[in-house]
Homo-oligomer: A and B are copies of this chain.
Amino acid sequence: MTHSPLRPPTMADVARLAGVSHQTVSRVLGDHPNVRDETRARVQRAIEEMGYRRNSSARALATRRTRTLGVVASNTTLYGPASTLFALEEAARAEGYLVSTVSVRKLTVETLSEALDHLSDGGVEGVIAIAPQRSAVEALAELRRPFPVVAVGTGSASTVPSANVDQYLGARLATGHLLAAGHRTVWHLAGPEDWQEAADRVAGWRKTLEEAGVEPPMPLRGDWSPLSGYRAGQELAGWVGRGLTAVFVANDQMALGVLRALREAGVRTPQDVAVVGYDDIPESEFFAPPLTTVRQDFSAVGQRSIALLLDLIEGRTPSGPTRIAIEPQLVVRASTYPYASPPGTAPPG
């Protein structure tokens, strides 16, 4: 603190003050064992006094390691991506890595490629790509890149190493729950066509119905937004009384729109139509009525994918499979069962 040059102090400055060579300073900083206690203390005092911090660029240049990971994501204001991002960063930081993020509005071959370039210019050692669109997955496989990449949200379609919640299983849980409650069939409001996770949920829903000997109705399509759910809900309301008693909606936000449309059409939930969502966003417990949904462990996705990426970067043989699947969990609430428990009494997510 006494010293205040125009440029931040260098290792040589510290060395001079401590009366040692710069290499000894480096050893102290690197916790190298063979440094005399007295010397170490003297160096440490000098470091303190000058407020010295190692220059990360010089270090990175000499070691060829930046200790920085990249993340490419889209739709980061949605609960799922935001939660994954959070878990990713936390896991990476625990391993001493910094995380640089590129959030794009729309994931295409171009934006993905630009994002990887930008991260590459930033010197990342590896990248997590949250790439739920099918096209992005393919692009990922083809793009030339000088570092390992782990995909997240690619559903069952990943050709690169990946970590995913098992969407197929989640859809089976949701659909099976409705069938078990006595519904003859289950309609489905699906996510966008080109999202692999949406496709996996459709597949799980369809398979479950088929196993029960039921011909699946035509699924509706939304874009994940509450508004698209509202519009689909208006359409669904027209089928009430003609065999529609249960709907599996591919995410909670759309389910919210469906609930509103049904309510406005005078259709009661769950008495007339039962609704199941997907994601378990924090709000869904407070919808009207509280929403039965499928909870995804985004935190696990984040941790597992970081662990996998680090294995790849450090050249270790991955300790587990390179295509990780995480089990989702059904959360039953009043939208499928009118006597479900009030808020705050069930274990939180």
Chain B residue, CB-CB nearest to A233: B286
Cα-based distance from A98 to B119 in the complex (angstroms): 7
Tell me if A93 is interfacial: C-beta within 8 Å of chain B: yes
Interface bits A230-241 vs B (CB < 8 Å: 1, else 0): 110000000000
Q: Is A55 an interface residue (CB 8 A)?
A: yes
Chain A contacts with B in 241-267, Cβ cutoff 8 A: 253, 256-257, 259-260, 263
A229 CA to B282 CA, complexed, in Å: 12
Considering the chains assembled together, what is the distance between the CA atoms of A118 and B56 in angstroms? 11
A338 at interface by CB-CB < 8 Å? no
Interface centre among A118, A253, A283 (most CB of B within 10 A): A283
Interface residues on A, range: 35 or more
Contact B227 A256 (CB under 8 A): no
Inter-subunit contact B122/A98 (CB<8 Å): yes
The stretch from A77-85, A160-168, A181-189 touching chain B is: A77-85
Please measure, in the bound complex, the distance between the C-alpha atom of A122 and the C-alpha atom of B56, giving whole angstroms.
Answer: 6
In the complex, whether A321 has a CB less than 8 A from a CB of chain B is no
Known: A103-B90, A257-B343, A286-B230. A76 touches B68 (CB 8 A): no
Residues 110-137 of A contacting B (Cβ, < 8 Å): 118-123
* Stretch of A38-46, A58-66, A190-198, A212-220 on the interface side: A58-66
Give the number of times this chain occurs in the complex, counting copies. Answer: 2
Shortest CB distance A230–B (Å):
5
Known A230-B286, A253-B283, A344-B230: A101·B89 in contact at CB below 8 Å? yes
**Cross-chain pairs A/B with CB under 8 angstroms, 18 sampled:** A60-B60, A61-B61, A76-B86, A85-B103, A93-B118, A98-B118, A98-B122, A99-B100, A99-B101, A100-B101, A226-B286, A227-B285, A227-B286, A253-B282, A253-B283, A256-B286, A260-B286, A260-B343
Assuming A51-B144, A77-B82, A101-B101, what are 15 further A-B pairs, CB within 8 angstroms?
A53-B146, A55-B61, A56-B123, A57-B61, A57-B66, A58-B61, A68-B100, A68-B122, A77-B86, A86-B103, A90-B103, A225-B282, A230-B344, A256-B287, A288-B288
Residues of A that sit less than 8 Å from B by CB: 8, 51, 53-58, 60-61, 66-68, 76-77, 79, 82-83, 85-86, 89-90, 93, 98-103, 118-123, 144, 146, 225-227, 229-231, 253, 256-257, 259-260, 263, 282-283, 285-288, 290, 343-344
